[in-house]
A and B are shown apart, each in its own frame.
Chain A
Amino acid sequence: MLSVAQPTSTWYLVLSAVLFGIGTVGVMVRRNPLIMFMCIELMLNAVNLSFVALSSQIANIDGQVAVFFVLVVAAAEVVVGLGIIVSIMRRRTTLTVDDMSGLKG
């Protein structure tokens, strides 16, 4: 075996923290609701990665079970969110979240 550093779960956790940060910036910066949804998917994936890394670190399968349920909920969330976007786009032509400011009442 080579004596180079082997990636420990700390590396994966740090990567997942960076990925979560990128997703957070994306949600705050972008104005297209589709892109904001993609950034939320990035954040969910960062959490999934940390679940799996910790699951193998502490040798407990429960982390992978949690990821399984997160995947299902993410799929449901995307379906509902895209349905909302499609029904909003029936009445508008441009797609930015600023156009939805009428929702504030």
Chain B
Amino acid sequence: MELIINGTPRRVNSEADTPLLWVIRDELGLTGTKYGCGAAQCGACTVLVDGQPTRSCVTPVESVAGLPVTTIEAIGEDPVGRRVVEAWVAAQVPQCGYCQSGQVMAATALLKQTPRPTEEDIAAAMTNLCRCGTYNAIAAATRQAAQG
């Protein structure tokens, strides 16, 4: 089956029901997307599928065949993504950092769809878990990226 990962067609041979996360990480070697729970609870595995933030740990790979998939590795190729990253660095968001790939992807998806989000928009979109509790910094950086 053929995937479109970060703009590049990639042929993969994983079973059709393999979660997209493990195709990305194991078969394609893109380890920026993280495994946290495997049950769509934490959001560490968030990628964009056709622009939509998607928890790749429960997304069968066959369901995204032919659709554009964007991972954190391509975040710098997107102007909104670059802005989010700069806001993340400026706000010194990460602590352990393990959830932050997913957080950055979620924020990027939000700002691409809603360039000027309200507080409610941010709260509704930024639902990924962070065990280090960087939530206030995440919200501040998301606001900053929206203004930047």
A and B: bona fide binding partners? no
- A residues with a Cβ closer than 8 A to B are none
- B residues with a Cβ closer than 8 A to A are none
